[in-house]
């Protein structure tokens, strides 16, 4: 497949400028430069391009950087077959996973996102803005913090809360949200833990509860894509027997 620029509608909305994904296979610098030049002539305005390169094609990262792309992040996909952990999770959920942290002040449940009340949605957004204050757009010097903040807000409020296929697992303490994960058929989409609770053991409880919820809903496997910089969550995935696959380089270009 020849390289081409495919418009990404949601990033165009988020970044308030035409945004594209560089698709297809390129072999040399001239191919990328030609695409960029044509796009500049076509729209005559600022625009953004995202490029995802599999780790095994690392030589293409150098080509892209020579064309003006900057390395924004490296991501990896985590994967778990729930059938392999279902027995252990179900047998030990009360004696092991909940015994130390669950008391009368703590509750966990999952519901469709469309059934979340406005107060819980507000708390989810607040935790998300804290959790993702150092994502690849916040760390990109070419992206204003206000734009990066609004990108997270729009994604959650308009995309995730508006998708009726999504579920949300929450943990509350004294009726205050301390952690959540939004997930759908086979995928963890986004999650966060209140900074006040980091290091208290609720992270493992949150992910374990979400896996139990996924099993209850009949899911056979679960995956997600995560930044390799997120070491605490990667360690947690490892403890929960997730495998790791498909590392990618993600690059940004701003015209």
DSSP for the chain, written as a single string: ---EEEE-HHHHHHHTS-EEEEES---SHHHHHHHHHHHHHHH-S--EEEEEEEGGGHHHHHHHHHTT-EEEEEEEEEEEEHHHHHHHHHHHIIIIISTTT-STTEEEEEEEGGG--HHHHHHHHHHHHHHTTTSTTTS-TTS-HHHHHHHHHHIIIIIITT-TT-EEEEEEETTEEEEEEEEETTEEEEEEE-GGGTTTTHHHHHHHHHHHHHHHTT--EEEEEEETT-HHHHHHHHHTT-EEEEEEEEEEEE-
What is the mean predicted confidence (pLDDT) over 67-79? 97
Last residue of a domain, one of 57, 75, 93: 75
What per-residue confidence (pLDDT) applies to 113?
Answer: 96
Last residue of a domain, one of 75, 100, 134: 75
What per-residue confidence (pLDDT) applies to 198?
Answer: 77
Co-location of 113 and 59 in the same domain: no
What pLDDT digit, counting tens, does each position of 154-191 carry? 999 999 999 999 999 999 989 999 999 999 989 999 99
Instruction: Provide the domain limits for residue 105.
Output: 76-245
Residue 91 pLDDT > 80: no
What pLDDT digit, counting tens, does each position of 242-253 carry? 999 999 999 999
How many domains is the chain partitioned into structurally?
2
What per-residue confidence (pLDDT) applies to 87?
Answer: 83
What is the mean predicted confidence (pLDDT) over 32-56? 96
What per-residue confidence (pLDDT) applies to 97?
Answer: 54
């Amino acid at each position: 497949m020849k390289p081409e620029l495919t418009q990404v509608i949601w990033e165009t909305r988020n970044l308030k400028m035409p945004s594209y994904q560089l698709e297809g296979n390129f072999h040399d610098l001239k191919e990328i430069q030609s695409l960029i030049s044509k796009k500049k002539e076509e729209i005559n305005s600022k625009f953004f391009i995202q490029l995802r390169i599999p780790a095994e094609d690392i030589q293409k990262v150098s080509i892209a950087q020579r064309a003006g792309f900057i390395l924004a992040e490296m991501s990896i996909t985590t994967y778990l077959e729930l059938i392999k952990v279902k027995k252990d999770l179900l047998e030990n959920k009360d004696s092991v996973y909940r015994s130390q942290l669950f008391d009368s002040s703590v509750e966990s449940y999952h519901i469709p996102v469309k059934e979340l009340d406005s107060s819980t949605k507000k708390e989810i957004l607040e935790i998300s803005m804290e959790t993702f204050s150092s994502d690849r757009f916040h760390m990109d010097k070419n992206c204003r913090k206000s734009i990066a903040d609004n990108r997270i807000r729009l994604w959650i409020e308009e995309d995730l809360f508006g998708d009726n296929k999504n579920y949300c697992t929450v943990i509350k303490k004294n009726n205050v949200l301390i952690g959540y994960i939004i997930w759908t058929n086979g995928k963890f989409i986004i999650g966060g833990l209140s900074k006040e609770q980091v290091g208290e053991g609720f992270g493992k409880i949150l992910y374990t509860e979400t896996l139990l919820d996924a099993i209850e809903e009949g899911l056979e496997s679960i995956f997600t894509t995560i930044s390799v910089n997120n070491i605490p969550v990667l360690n947690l995935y490892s403890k929960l027997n997730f495998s790791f696959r498909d590392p990618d380089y993600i690059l940004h270009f701003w015209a």
